[in-house]
Structure 1
Amino acid sequence: MRTRALVAALLAALLPSAGACATAPCGTSPAAASAPATPSAQPSPVAPSPPPVNDLLVLLDRWYDNLVAMRHIPGMAIVVLRGPEVLWRREAGFADLASGRAVSPSTRFYAGSVTKLVTAVAALQLRDAGRLELDAPVTRYLPDFTVAGGDASRVTVRMLLTHRSGLRREGADPYWMTYDFPSWRTLAAELAAAPLDAPPGTRTAYSNVGMAVLGQVIAAAADEPYADYVATHVLAPLGMTASGVGGGDAALAGLATPYSREQRHLHGARRALAAGDPRALSPAFGLVTTAADLARFARFLLGADPGGSSVLAPDSVAEMMAPQDAGPVWTEARGLGFELEKVKGYLRASHNGWFSGHRAQIALVPELGLGAVVLANADDAPVADVAGRVLDDLIDADTLARLAPASALAPPDRDLAALVGLYGAAWLPERDVVLLSDGLWQYTPTTSASLPVRHGLARLLPMGGDRFHVGSADGQIIRFARDADGCGARIVLQDGAVWLERRPARP
């Protein structure tokens, strides 16, 4: 436990705030870090950051932009939190390919099943107010709720939260094929005609219709429609003013165009999809939000929002992240809304989301105060891998072991910074050149979201005259050719027989 406490203290004291990375000149490499998600907010004071973590953020910038471009993801936004602060934020690509509208912090996305966490917060909020009992039967709040076989009275509110109700995953209508989602009356009639898949409380099986039932329970306990209750008692107090639950014109305003991919392979053409209205299934996957708003929700769940306790008591938030159906030794479990796992010795609470061509992920490491939210407008975007990769690299044992005493960073070497950028040729793998605290490095961009960000890095060892060994003193020799402005224009190989041209920054 002392080791974990030391790790947490090191992270709190030494990880940099957003904007700590240096930018490269020549107008071709992206800015290293973006502004905080709330531009008007004053950043909290932080200690100067040690080079290894600044280096990681520089690499994350390049890795993220290359990943979006090479996987042909239309647009993706990420916010990484360290407690109340935005540690790193990035937007890449387009909210709409046809118009060229770029993804921004205010771009709205469907969060899909991340909505289930909002629904869980609403349920626990009502529980804490004495208006809802988790272990009470659903029929206490919905007297007309029935299932074929007469088992409805054995289904409890907690079972809906933990996916142990025995209810089937979906309703009888083929709404995933037609995107014509049912009303509650229609869905309730379908459930009444269908037997449970398992006796209540005996099996964990993911259920969207279970969350739809929970939404109706919340509405009955609160005596107001689910969407109105969530908007007033969860979203508004957290400052999630660009968010809402459900469909309609208001939900579609500013929404990123959703895309699928023809033929389901990496280079298949993108196809725009129609946005859907989840109607009765809104408590399961109907949240529309922005990266900035979802980061506010994550900050609240990390206990880093000063006003968060007015929405839900800290003990109740912790209850959401406590395993509900696991023994004393576990690696994966379910909380109240959350999916739980142990990664690198720490609890990770997360949830993935998909709806109408959009993907979403929220992942938290509460012990370290770290969180990541990712939103994308492609139904094949690897948002869970992206969030997990970033968090893994931030808590990687090697990174933490190399944390040095805090010290002010030296300004970047402008002469070397002029060589930073992406270089490539039609038949050769691209090389991305980055400037870290100890000099220039190169790596080959990849479509993988699961490999460590440092995978494939090779240091460029200076030989003089813009010539470098790659990786070691006996490694390949490369030479940079500069343009009239002194910026890198080519990487020259094999004594000039082969070269890679500098390419524009990723859009």
Structure 2
Amino acid sequence: MHFLRLRFPRVTSHLVLAGVLVAVLLGWTAPARATGERQIDDYRTVYGTPGVAAAVINGSSVETIVRGRDGDGNAVTARTRFRIGSMSKSMTAAAIMLLVDRGRISLDEPVVKVLPGFKMADPRFAGITVRQILSHTSGLSNSTNNEYAFPPPRSPQEIVAGLAGKTLLADPGTYWEYHNTNYSIAARIVEVVSGKPFDAFLHTELFTPLGMTSTGSTLGCSDHAEGLPSGHLVVPGIAVAAPEMPGICVGNGGVISTLDDMVRWLKFNQGTLGVDLLSAASLAQMHTVQPKAGDYALGWRARPVKADAPPSLIGHGGTLATWTGDMVFSPKTGVAALVLTNSGGDPSLLATNLLAERIGEPTTPMSNPLTVVNMILLGLTGVMAALLVTAIVRARRWASRRRLARRPLLVLRLVPLALVTVLGILAPTLVWGPFNLQYWIVTIWLMPLLALFSLTCCVLGAVALGRRLWLFRRAG
């Protein structure tokens, strides 16, 4: 009893002190983690995202948050594979910088010097430099080189060969336009200079040295990859597992990775992992905004932490039809955030908000503008379907009335249905510009409710028009 009486106050004080330390630590870390989890849960609610894998890096600390399920129905983990879309461009730029460090190429030498097969039907192409293709200032444009043509090319060699009959929109180095073909040209440069297929070069020279053991790449956006579940279309608010839209992704968006591996990629770009792989000067060049490129660097871009602030972060997003992601870091604080999702959405907003929380900046409220658009399209589709089905059902009565009328005014009476049918055919031009049949394919993946509205107008409008004409002739 004497021992207990002497020691108890000391034991109690130790317990109280330990409790205070735990409380202090929890007071600093628990709210941050809870806030991050709330941000991700809110994001999934707003965008209907089935699965999210996110991480926040702060020095040696890495906080990971995973939610939902993949396309196979399994719980998302830090080892779940995702397509990362245009985040791949940072890896293509790093592959080029590896060759620069080894003295194999120079950023400011003409592409034709390192890629003899590169030709265009525009004499200005000879002035395009390696730096300009990496900064999207080559003068290439979708208006003169349609990237959505079907069927898509199957290799970087085919892409380069396909440019032989194309022209530039502007003089190289004077105009910026984000154009994926630039990075497919870069992939071909890597192949020609290194003597290795592009995916093999990435594997041996980048991914393996950095310990990114679950990362690989494909030529096509929809190519099969081992262990990769399906992405999703969300229409509206309902996630449906779906194959990716066909397209050529080599160099510009074909990498498949995991949260764990992408954390390593961010650490490499922050200069805390694989420090001997790439020179500090080359790494800094990748993150430096280039001349005439707006906010674009080399596979990265500068951006603000909020809409009305100057650029203070370095990041890059990735958007495919059924996958989206984003990565961003603050050079000043060293804090980084990473988001991978298996559906559409705005992951750059989520990643920036996760980072903003850690550096004491205000976050931006999340909203999905497509929610209203989709509800309007769904409503219009329902109304149009009801009207057109009614016109089809009542076509016999309409034909009889027109036959009995003194002035049938047949053409004028058919104009509304003809206009509805034409509206169905041309509706995708409201989003994509001048009419092109291939944009129907793009619309099916990227805006499926617009495609449904278009098909409803086109098919039911044509049926109603044809049935009225046929029954009018029979009534005679």
TM-score, structure 1 length as denominator? 0.62
Q: Once the 2 structures are TM-superposed, how far is the Cα of residue 277 of structure 1 from its aligned partner?
A: 6.6
Aligned to 1:182, the other structure's residue is in SS state: coil
The residue that corresponds to 1:90 in the other structure is 65
Letter in 1 for 2:41: D
Q: Once the 2 structures are TM-superposed, how far is the Cα of residue 53 of structure 1 from its aligned partner?
A: 4.6
Q: Once the 2 structures are TM-superposed, how far is the Cα of residue 253 of structure 1 from its aligned partner?
A: 2.1
Distance 1:364 1:346, change over 3 A: same
| Correspondences of 1:146-165 after superposition (within 5 Å) | 146-165=119-138
| Correspondences of 1:58-457 after superposition (within 5 Å) | 58-86=34-62, 88-96=63-71, 99-169=72-142, 175=148, 180-247=152-219, 252-262=225-235, 265=236, 267=237, 269-275=238-244, 279=248, 281-305=249-273, 308-325=274-291, 333-343=295-305, 347-379=312-344, 381-396=345-360, 448=367
Q: Once the 2 structures are TM-superposed, how far is the Cα of residue 222 of structure 1 from its aligned partner?
A: 1.2
Distance 1:289 1:277, change over 3 A: farther
Q: Once the 2 structures are TM-superposed, how far is the Cα of residue 173 of structure 1 from its aligned partner?
A: 6.3
Distance 1:247 1:222, change over 3 A: closer
- CA deviations 1:327-376 (Å, max 9, x no partner) are 9xxxx622121111344677211101012410010101122111111111
Aligned to 2:182, the other structure's residue is in SS state: helix
Aligned to 1:255, the other structure's residue is in SS state: coil
Q: Once the 2 structures are TM-superposed, how far is the Cα of residue 231 of structure 1 from its aligned partner?
A: 0.8
Q: Which has the higher helix share?
A: 2
Letter in 1 for 2:265: F
Letter in 2 for 1:211: Y
Distance 1:449 1:374, change over 3 A: farther
Greater Rg over alpha carbons, structure: 2
Distance 1:229 1:171, change over 3 A: farther
Contact 1:325 1:333 in 2 (8 A): no
Q: Once the 2 structures are TM-superposed, how far is the Cα of residue 273 of structure 1 from its aligned partner?
A: 2.1
- CA deviations 1:460-496 (Å, max 9, x no partner) are xxxxxxxxxxxxxxxxxxxxxxxxxxxxxxxxxxxxx
Contact 1:170 1:209 in 2 (8 A): no
Aligned to 1:196, the other structure's residue is in SS state: coil
Contact 1:260 1:272 in 2 (8 A): yes
Distance 1:171 1:247, change over 3 A: farther
Structure-2 separation of matches of 1:351 and 1:378 = 17
Q: Once the 2 structures are TM-superposed, how far is the Cα of residue 102 of structure 1 from its aligned partner?
A: 1.2
Q: Once the 2 structures are TM-superposed, how far is the Cα of residue 57 of structure 1 from its aligned partner?
A: 1.7
Aligned to 1:283, the other structure's residue is in SS state: coil
**Unaligned stretches of 5+ in structure 1?**
1-47, 400-445, 451-507
Distance 1:385 1:188, change over 3 A: same
Contact 1:278 1:286 in 2 (8 A): no
Structure-2 separation of matches of 1:342 and 1:174 = 29
Letter in 2 for 1:90: I
Question: After the TM superposition, which parts of structure 1 deviate over 6 Å for at least 4 consecutive aligned residues?
Answer: none
Distance 1:214 1:170, change over 3 A: farther
**Unaligned stretches of 5+ in structure 2?**
1-23, 370-476
Contact 1:114 1:361 in 2 (8 A): yes
Contact 1:212 1:282 in 2 (8 A): yes
- CA deviations 1:79-112 (Å, max 9, x no partner) are 11112330x211111102xx53111111111110
Contact 1:359 1:376 in 2 (8 A): yes
Structure-2 separation of matches of 1:63 and 1:185 = 43
Size of the aligned set, in residue pairs, is 342
Q: Once the 2 structures are TM-superposed, how far is the Cα of residue 59 of structure 1 from its aligned partner?
A: 2.1
Distance 1:94 1:153, change over 3 A: same
Distance 1:201 1:295, change over 3 A: same
Distance 1:345 1:90, change over 3 A: same
Distance 1:316 1:186, change over 3 A: closer
Q: Once the 2 structures are TM-superposed, how far is the Cα of residue 293 of structure 1 from its aligned partner?
A: 0.7
The residue that corresponds to 1:497 in the other structure is none
Structure-1 separation of matches of 2:240 and 2:325 = 19
Q: Which has the higher strand share?
A: 1
Structure-2 separation of matches of 1:278 and 1:171 = 18
Contact 2:56 2:64 in 1 (8 A): yes
Aligned to 1:254, the other structure's residue is in SS state: coil
Q: Once the 2 structures are TM-superposed, how far is the Cα of residue 191 of structure 1 from its aligned partner?
A: 1.1
TM-score, structure 2 length as denominator? 0.66
- CA deviations 1:205-253 (Å, max 9, x no partner) are 1110011111111111212111111110011111111001115899622
My pick for the range that moved more, 217-226 or 62-71, is 62-71
Distance 1:85 1:187, change over 3 A: same
Q: Say what the alpha-carbon RMSD is for the aligned residues.
A: 2.9
Contact 1:94 1:102 in 2 (8 A): yes
Structure-2 separation of matches of 1:141 and 1:282 = 19
